[in-house]
Structure 1
């Protein structure tokens, strides 16, 4: 199944998917401590806030490539890196599921919404869904917060995820405005 999914993409798109996955993993250890400096004294869960910034890479990959399955592939690559290399976190094999679910949720949203072009609202909703699903799953597996703190955490996660989605939109918009993507992604026959 995964092999069939990968065959739908050009070599350049696979490189973009790998890059987005790597940037998502690489920025996490930098972003989380910085966010904890601000959120710790306020007793706000830092992972929910930081999540929007590193889930942004999943949404950015979808925006750059614009095809169904991109978010899932990015999250699968992230999960494989985290589990096999022990890059971030000590959750073991459970990390495989906590990393894949946000990508699956974003692809499910794309499948249901069927956007003709990925617009600002799609980036926003994709960021929210990715971060809420990741935050909710991590809470269910590890923290098991009571209802009120869980709702507050998911609210913070939705705000952060939406902001991450808008940042991804701004990046893609800037690249399209400068026509940086036209010569790369639209030349599929040269990349296969």
Structure 2
């Protein structure tokens, strides 16, 4: 087991791990700011606030993959977020279930990028990565906690797709700026 862990983390440099830790921390730190603002929009529509806000805190998963450019990056970022939320008990925690609800979006991003053969390198894959992260998170939280009826669920998933896609495009814009300033590894 220890050797499997070492092999997984051996793929990443110390710099990569620091970038992933920063993405995880920023994703957690932005949540208490964004969610109340999203509640202003989603409250009257009876949609959970995380549906709209999710696009803006899921962008860190896509951004992390775009900056690091290695498989498993989004899953590791999501894992660090889950551990932080459970250990610290920050805003939006659902107890031990947070482990699953935080981990699934990272796994969805990594799976999508694996299937597409992309690493957060273009606007389309970042857009789709944001959608995958936010829809998977929204759907899982709905199944576990909210159990919305079909019509509100479809409205929630549609809003999640829109905000997730927009978050992915914001991530791509940041990645593009890093590329313009030659701050990324050229092999990404």
TM-score normalised over the length of structure 2: 0.92
Counterpart pick for 1:124 among 117, 123, 127: 127
Residue 113 (structure 2) pairs with residue 110 (structure 1) = yes
Secondary structure of the corresponding residue to residue 152 of structure 1: helix
1:35–1:167 Cα change, 3 Å: same
> Which is further off, 145-154 or 40-49?
40-49
Residue 72 (structure 2) pairs with residue 75 (structure 1) = no
Secondary structure of the corresponding residue to residue 41 of structure 1: helix
TM-score normalised over the length of structure 1: 0.91
1:88 Cα deviation after fit: 2.1
> Which is further off, 88-97 or 16-25?
88-97
Gaps in structure 2 of 5+ consecutive residues: none
Secondary structure of the corresponding residue to residue 171 of structure 1: helix
1:108–1:42 Cα change, 3 Å: same
Matches within 5 A, 1:38-53: 38-53=41-56
**What whole-Å deviation, never above 9, does each CA across 1:135-163 have from its counterpart, x for those lacking one?**
00000000011111111100000000000
Q: How many equivalent residue pairs? A: 184
Gaps in structure 1 of 5+ consecutive residues: 188-192
> C-alpha separation between the residues in 2 aligned to 1:116 and 1:42?
35
Structure 1 runs (4+) deviating above 2 angstroms are 1-4, 41-45
Counterpart pick for 2:138 among 135, 140, 149: 135
Instruction: Give the root-mean-square deviation of aligned CA atoms.
Output: 1.6
> C-alpha separation between the residues in 1 aligned to 2:20 and 2:46?
35
2:29 is matched with which residue? 26
Counterpart pick for 1:54 among 43, 49, 57: 57
